[in-house]
Amino acid sequence: MKNVVAIATGLVALAAPAAASAATMTATPVKPCYGSGEQVTLTGSGFTPSSGVNITRDGELLDDVATDPAGAFSGTLTLGLDTGRQTRTYTATDITNTTLTASLQLVVSEVEVGIRPRSGPPGRRLRIRAKGFTTGQTLWAHVIRGRSKRHIKLGELKGACRSLTTRRRILPRRARLGSYTVQFDTYRRYDPDRPVKDGYLITVRPVSSGSAAAATSFDRID
């Protein structure tokens, strides 16, 4: 599921480090790639004390942040990207003295799981291609039906932006008729509020009236 929010939120001043001779800005955690929906902490120093900075992304203003008496700031940035992978430049510019700036670049990837085929009998092996799951090492599929939950370990994610290609069964061959939700994320336990995830609604229905055979369809959850 795509999370396309791309604004700086919840920016709160923290205890200040020692003042620096030049403006600096860092992001934590440090990663070669971040998935859409992931959060990083931006920390800056060397700016005008008790003033503020403007935070921009590729020249577009995201938010303004207060600096503390030592000229430092800290806050949370939620990364978002609808499609593909991009290297984005984030810049902090001092509001009082615009010559004081600090920039950093972050690689951001969309989060997506592609499934083929998306129709056919339950129990078939599906081709699963995932990317952007930068919050862990392993991809899981959580299959939910009412209070019933199944957790399927799909495999190890590889590369800077954490991708995987595999063939696995999501439903058993004799899956009951009805609707299932499958959520893909990097956690063994299911939590619908994971910020980096993708998901589908699976519908199992009879092929025809009175038929024992069943067919499934996969529809992405937006």
Residue 52 tokens, joined: 């503020």
**Per-residue pLDDT for 179 more than 90?**
yes
Mean pLDDT over 42-49 rounds to 97
CA pair distance 154, 70, nearest whole angstrom:
48
pLDDT of residue 4: 33
Residue 192 tokens, joined: 């619908």
Among 113, 114, 154, 163, residue whose Cα is nearest residue 134: 163
CA pair distance 12, 140, nearest whole angstrom:
34
pLDDT of residue 208: 75
pLDDT of residue 207: 84
CA pair distance 163, 85, nearest whole angstrom:
12
pLDDT of residue 46: 96
Where residue 181 falls among pLDDT bands split at 50, 70, 90? Answer: very high
Please state, rounded to an integer, the average pLDDT across all residues of the chain: 89
Q: pLDDT tens across 5-25, in order? A: 333 333 333 333 434 448 999
Residue 54 tokens, joined: 């403007």
Domains and CATH numbers, the chain: 8-109 (2.60.40.1930), 112-220 (2.60.40)
Q: What percent of the chain clears pLDDT 90, i.e. is strictly above it?
A: 85
Mean pLDDT over 71-80 rounds to 95
**Per-residue pLDDT for 152 more than 80?**
yes
